[in-house]
Amino acid sequence: MAYKKIKVLITDDSLFFRNILKKEIEKDPLIEVVGVAFDPIDAREKIKLLSPDIITLDVEMPKMNGITFLKKLMKDDPKKIVLVSSLNINVFDALDAGAVDFVKKPSMSSENELKNFFYELVSKIKIASLAKLKTNIEYKAVPTLTSSNNILLYKQPQKKVIAIGASTGGTEATLAVLKQLPKEVPAILVTQHMPAGFTKMYADRLNKICKFEVREAVNGDRVVDGLALIAPGDKQMRLAKDSKGYYVKCQEGEKVSGHCPSVDVLFESVANVASENTIGIILTGMGKDGANGLLKMKNEGAYTIGQDQVSCVVYGMPKVAYEIGGVQIQSPVENIANILIKQLNKE
């Protein structure tokens, strides 16, 4: 059976990097590099000529900034973009503007790092080819339920823990949920598939937008109301409990369900430690990480929510979780915050 190859246009101002990218990703039989571009103006012409399925894009580019180019492209001729960038805060501007995903550029000094980079890039090109264009997914703000419309804000005698897991498309989906929640929110733990370094920048970004504190988790951090902790990009984050209450363990470890951090690791620890005093939310992403963990949470008495197919960039993780019985309610991402608050006020 013949498979249709994924047509890729590489856009980078470095001739060396363009050449090595082309050579390495074309080793995969499902990918065809149809062209290379050295700046956004060149890319624009080649997009018209070659009609690629996926465009790899650097942020720092001559003639036009990569983010500016991305915004113009998504407005005029939307394409699926995988950002290939160094450690740069503009990554999240790019995701917000419509990029499907990103891969951190390697230092080029480590053979193992290069190998991991090309493996990750090929994987994300394949995922992006199955993803929905971001322009088709609008996370519309829904008025958050508050006491002003006869719904009590969260006031629970029993400490609650909200656990959220996401992958491709999850940075914006998680933001769509968190930015609607009130300052009095219960403790939140988030595992988002993301490389080391980027998780701190992501947490800092959320902290500027949300009404409560958001930060990258550090081993031993206490889990308290009004605080959201983001799993570090190179560690597994677990919920734990001692005589003082809940805290997190953030430790190096093997990949679980193909990831470090893994959503399954977080969800299973939450199920084991906090059982029915939890709410689990699984958002957009490829694969099945988090599905088994969410089912375990549900079986231990947690309330579980899954993002619906229409609002997912990639309906993978929530789909598997739903199919195995781990999801109690599916919802468009923009309405999850309201469902969450209703559930908290019901208990």
Whether residue 49 contacts residue 23, with contact meaning beta carbons closer than 8 Å, is answered with no
Instruction: Identify the pLDDT of residue 182.
Output: 92
Domain boundary among 136, 169, 184: 136
In a domain, 290, yes or no: yes
Which of the following is catalytic: 167, 262, 269, 311? Answer: 167
Do 175 and 282 share a domain, yes or no?
yes
Do 275 and 205 share a domain, yes or no?
yes
In a domain, 265, yes or no: yes
Could you confirm whether 167 is annotated as catalytic?
A: yes
Do 130 and 159 share a domain, yes or no?
no
Instruction: Identify the pLDDT of residue 143.
Output: 57
Do 164 and 254 share a domain, yes or no?
yes
Which of the following is catalytic: 58, 101, 193, 311? Answer: 193
Q: What is the pTM of this model?
A: 0.89
Q: Which helix (H) or strand (E) holds 19?
A: helix 15-25
Instruction: Identify the pLDDT of residue 151.
Output: 42
Do 101 and 160 share a domain, yes or no?
no
Do 63 and 176 share a domain, yes or no?
no
Beta strands, E only, the chain: 6-11, 31-37, 54-57, 80-85, 101-104, 161-166, 187-192, 213-216, 227-230, 236-242, 245-251, 278-282, 303-307, 329-331
Cα atoms in the Cβ-side hemisphere of radius 13 Å centred on 277: 16
Do 211 and 85 share a domain, yes or no?
no
Instruction: Identify the pLDDT of residue 159.
Output: 77
Do 242 and 334 share a domain, yes or no?
yes
pLDDT above 70 covers a percentage of the chain that reads: 90
In a domain, 220, yes or no: yes
Domain boundary among 109, 136, 163: 136
Q: Which long-range contacts (CB under 8 A, 24 or more apart) does 64-71 make?
A: 64/39, 64/40, 66/40, 66/90, 66/94, 67/93, 67/94, 67/97, 68/40, 69/40, 69/43, 69/44, 70/94, 70/97, 70/98, 70/99, 71/97, 71/98
In a domain, 38, yes or no: yes
In a domain, 1, yes or no: no
Instruction: Identify the pLDDT of residue 1.
Output: 46
In a domain, 248, yes or no: yes
In a domain, 322, yes or no: yes
pLDDT per residue as tens digits for the range 244-302: 999 999 999 999 999 999 999 999 999 999 999 999 999 999 999 999 999 999 999 99
Could you confirm whether 289 is annotated as catalytic?
A: yes
Do 116 and 156 share a domain, yes or no?
no
Domain boundary among 136, 157, 173: 136
Instruction: Identify the pLDDT of residue 135.
Output: 64
Residues of the domain holding 327: 147-346
How many structural domains does the chain have?
Answer: 2
- What's the farthest any 2 CA atoms get from each other in the chain? 65
Do 299 and 212 share a domain, yes or no?
yes
Q: What is the mean pLDDT of each run of 10 residues along the chain (347 residues)?
A: 83 91 94 93 93 90 80 87 77 86 82 88 94 69 48 56 96 96 94 92 95 97 96 97 95 94 98 95 97 98 97 96 98 95 84
Do 204 and 289 share a domain, yes or no?
yes
- At 230, list the tokens: 């983001």
Do 108 and 247 share a domain, yes or no?
no
Could you confirm whether 193 is annotated as catalytic?
A: yes
Domain of 128: which CATH number? Answer: 3.40.50.2300
Domain of 320: which CATH number? Answer: 3.40.50.180
Which of the following is catalytic: 289, 308, 311, 331? Answer: 289
